[in-house]
Amino acid sequence: MKHLLSIEDLDRAAVEALLDQSDAFLDVLARDIPKVPALRGKTVVSLFYEESTRTRLSFETAAKRLSADTMSFAVGSSSVKKGESLLDTVKTIEAMGIDAMVVRHHAAGAPHRVAQWIDASVINAGDGRHEHPTQALLDAFTLRRHRGPSLDGCRVAIIGDIRNSRVARSTMLCFTRLGARVTFVAPPTLIPERLDGWPVTVAHDLDDVLGEIDVAYVLRVQEERLGQALLPTLREYYARYGLTAERAARMKPDTFVMHPGPMIRGPEIATEVVDGPRSLVREQVTNGVAVRMAVLWSLIGSGGHVA
Amino acid sequence: MPDALVIRSGRVLDETGERMADVLVRDGRIAEVAPGLDVPAGARVLDAEGCVVSPGLVDIQVHFREPGREEAETIETGARAAALGGFTAVVAMPNTTPPLDDAKVMAAVLERGRQVACLVTFAGCITQGRAGHELAPLGELYDLGVRVFTDDGDCVADANVMRRAFEYALALPGSVIAQHAEDPDLVAGGHMHEGEWSAKLGIPGRPAEAESTIVARDLALAKLTGGRYHVLHMSAGASAELVRAAKAEGIRVTCEVSPQHLALTDAACASFDPVFKMNPPLRSEADVAALTAALADGTIDAIATDHAPHAPETKERPFEEAPPGMLGVETAVAVAITKLVDTGVMTLAQVLGALSWRPARIAGLDAAGHGLPVVAGNPANLCVLDPAARWVVSPDRLASRSRNTPFAGWKLSGRVRHTVLYGQPTVLDHEAQA
């Protein structure tokens, strides 16, 4: 594997191999000195055209735990502001000698374009509404740790702005690769325009599916959707789709709650649910580092076992 | 320069039929069409063995970018590319900088268009500044010879403005109101056909209904006013249905389709390469099938390329950030032959009709001697092409100043060998002459 651009490109075995590798790195992170020399001498650069806290920190932490050198290219304070094109920017960075480039961009497919332009490995850290493969891998990894190696038969509801979410696309693909059954729960305006060939079912009423699901995966709904006539008001949205404590109480006792962040505590997901015993939200963040270590190692490591 | 030329041993094919004949051209006009003609002393001989000799091709929708974006194309380079594609006349769209909504600017580009390898005529804007609100001076532009009016690139979204344009143009015989039919609200923020692929790729979509709703509205307005309507680059099967019904009802409507809308689908966008981006977008397989059927049954009158050059750096961007548009003039007839004639969907005569005499009439270019039968007395605007010749599209070898062909690497049938413009060869044995 040269690049990680989308979950679409990975079959079940490839996903499982990455998750197995992540298990090994999670053990490394539990050590007193959570660092291995696996990528010593390698250089990983992150190029983020969109604001991000957790994904960027997570990648940089992962690279450092593997002893790679890291560079961070902050678009806001760079030549991009002076009008430099994406092509010229990545060519310039590549000329400094790098092994992997972690790319987040507001346009779908931007990392795919970058992968055509440079020789280094490219990791998609989120492209427009398209995919966010490492988020999907860390979600699957987190769930797998609680549900056994396979997700066969596991029922997942992804709730929120599916249409505009790269996380929904990637996580749905990744979960279903591992055997889970995914239901999209949202008003029709927030469901993708066409679902031909998608291995999902759709529900418009959250209360209909609450009692049947093993995982409630909540996505954020952005205020800007109101101006696009996709929703009347956020208040109405939360009344119908918010994961309140009352709704959480109607889920099976062993139903897990997940959220990719950043989340709006309160109307979107109740604080007692986020901090409750069935919440995997904090664990998702921790596991993100291990999963991104596995991805970096698989793409630019020697491919052998890690000491 | 020889004052006469003979096109020898070709198969002459025009609207009246086909026959084996030599064609003698003298002083810019066809002098004689008959088998086994003697070659007059000093005449140049153009071999047409194995070739079809047809009226020059006519492309009623190109963008030659002059004035304003000469780094992408000029009237001169666009005309040369068009001549290599077998075209003797084109209609360039007015979405230049400045836009062609002014008689002085129009007079200047028309003058330029008469000095190049192909007759480059221009459409005028429907509205001032292509802003969609106030009518451009249609009459002044008409008096300069303009027959096609459009705000192409943008849709005339205001129904009342469209209605008044239809009405006003009734006083300008032979003129036509041509629409880029995409409702701006329905396509806002969109970059490709809305469907299975846009959903999968996460690229915001432009639904086919953005086109068909405008076509339906405009047809109602054409009926109300008696105006003459032309649908540019029609892309949706539903629009073709509407035009078919309107024609049956006697509404004055014509329409065109681009080669790329017949040869490619939205699946091409899965590469995220913006060379496959245009407006209206490449659509579904069902749309391609419906458009192909509509072209074959005559509902669609013409093939027009929407030749839209973009400088390489503007296409070396993420899909959503690159400008829409594809090259077309150098590949049009070959794509049409490969996709329509080789597959048995249409005859070569039908395809040439859609690329020559039918579009010539829509834009009034028959009056300038284009698309006319190959008979003595008509201006010698001719295309000599070998329909069986195979060639591979190489972007680096195109004459256009830009490289954004969606057909790079395609092996196509049908190659233009010679092109003759008012009796002068503009292309000889595949080589541009100026």
Per-residue pLDDT tens for B279-319?
999 999 999 999 999 999 999 999 999 999 999 999 999 99
Cβ contact (<8 Å) for B272 and A129? no
CA-angle at A221, arms to A207 and A194, nearest 5°: 75
Q: Cα distance from B195 to chain A (closest Cα, Å)?
A: 6
CB contact (8 A) between residue A129 and residue B202: yes
* Phi, psi (rounded to 5 degrees) for A283: -60, -35
**Contact call for B318 and A169, based on CB within 8 A:** no
DSSP element (H, E) containing A103: strand A100-105
Q: Which CATH class for the B56-368 domain?
A: alpha beta
Q: Is the pLDDT of residue B79 over 50?
A: yes
Angle at B192 between CA B188 and CA B196, to 5 degrees: 115
- Chain-chain contact of A130 with B316 (C-beta, under 8 angstroms): no
Contact B201 A109 (CB under 8 A): yes
pLDDT at res. A78: 67
Of B353, B403, B367, nearest to B54 (Cα)? B353
Same fold, A7-131+285-300 and A133-280: yes
Per-residue pLDDT tens for B192-208? 999 999 999 999 999 99
- B408/chain A closest Cα distance in angstroms: 16
Substitution target in A161, A194, A195 with the highest count of B β-carbons within 10 Å is A194
308-347 in chain B: CB under 8 A from chain A:
313, 316-321
Taking residues B316-344, what's their average pLDDT? Answer: 97
* Distance (Å) from the alpha carbon of A32 to chain B's nearest alpha carbon: 42
At residue B269, the pLDDT reads: 98
pLDDT of B114: 98
CATH of A133-280, one of 3.40.50.10470, 1.10.357.10, 3.40.50.1370, 3.30.930.10: 3.40.50.1370
Q: Is B108 on the interface with A (CB under 8 A)?
A: no
| CATH fold for the domain made of B4-53+377-432 | Urease, subunit C; domain 1 (2.30.40)
pLDDT of B430 above 60: yes
Encode chain A (307 residues) as per-residue pLDDT tens digits. 899 999 999 999 999 999 999 999 999 999 999 999 999 999 999 999 998 888 999 999 999 999 999 999 877 766 676 778 899 999 999 999 999 999 999 999 999 999 999 999 999 999 999 999 999 999 999 999 999 888 999 999 999 999 999 999 999 999 999 999 999 999 999 999 999 999 999 999 999 999 999 999 999 988 777 888 899 999 999 999 999 999 999 999 999 999 998 888 888 999 999 999 999 999 999 999 999 999 999 999 975 555 4
Interface contact flag, B313 A112, Cβ < 8 Å? no
Residue intervals in chain B for CATH 2.30.40.10: 4-53+377-432
- Marked catalytic residue, from A3, A42, A43, A55: A55
CA distance B274 to chain A (A): 10
A117 interaction partners in chain B (CB closer than 8 Å): 316
Q: Does B272 touch chain A (CB under 8 A)?
A: yes
In this prediction the ipTM stands at 0.93
Note if A235 is an active site residue: no
CATH of the domain spanning A7-131+285-300, picked from 3.40.50.1370, 3.60.15.10, 2.60.40.10, 2.40.50.140: 3.40.50.1370
What is the model's pLDDT at position A307?
43
A191 chain-B contacts, CB cut-off 8 A: none
Task: Kindly list the domain boundaries of chain A, sorted by start residue.
Answer: 7-131+285-300, 133-280
User: What is the percentage of chain B residues whose pLDDT exceeds 70?
Assistant: 100
Of B379, B391, B393, B382, the C-alpha closest to B418 is B382
Which residues of chain B neighbour A195 with C-beta distances below 8 Å?
A: 199
Report the C-alpha gap between B354 and B240 in whole angstroms.
15
Known active-site residue A132: yes
The answer to whether A196 contacts B196, with C-beta atoms less than 8 Å apart, is yes
Q: Does B201 touch chain A (CB under 8 A)?
A: yes
> Which of A8, A109, A131 is the closest to B319 by Cβ?
A109
Strands B302-303 and B205-206: unpaired
The DSSP-derived string for A243-287 is B-HHHHHTS-TT-EEE--S---BTTTB-HHHHTSTTB-HHHHHHH
Asked if the model's pLDDT at residue B2 lies above 60, the reply is no
Clarify whether A54 is annotated catalytic: yes
Give the 3-state secondary structure of chain B: CCCEEEEEEEEEEECCEEEEEEEEEECCEEEEEECCCCCCCCCEEEECCCCEEEECEEEEEECCCCCCCCCCCCHHHHHHHHHHCCEEEEEECCCCCCCCCCHHHHHHHHHHHCCCCCEEEECECCEHHHCCCCECCHHHHHHCCCCEEECCCCCCCCHHHHHHHHHHHCCCCCCEEEECCCCHHHHCCCCEECCHHHHHHCCCEECCHHHHHHHHHHHHHHHHHCCCEEECCCCCHHHHHHHHHHHHHCCCEEEEECHHHHHCCHHHHHHCCHHHCCCCCCCCHHHHHHHHHHHHCCCCCEECCCECCCCHHHHCCCHHHCCCCECCCCCHHHHHHHHHHCCCCCCHHHHHHHHCHHHHHHCCHHHHCCCCCCCCCCECCEEEEEEEEEEECCHHHCCCCCCCCCCCCCEEEEEEEEEEECCEEEEECCEECC
Q: pLDDT per residue over A228-265, tens digit each?
A: 889 999 999 999 999 999 999 999 999 999 999 888 88
Looking at chain B, the whole-number percentage of residues with pLDDT higher than 90 is 99
pLDDT at B301: 98
pLDDT in tens, A262-295: 888 888 999 999 999 999 999 999 999 999 999 9
Q: Whole-angstrom Cα distance, residue A74 to residue A79?
A: 10
| Partner-chain contact A108 B194, CB within 8 Å | no
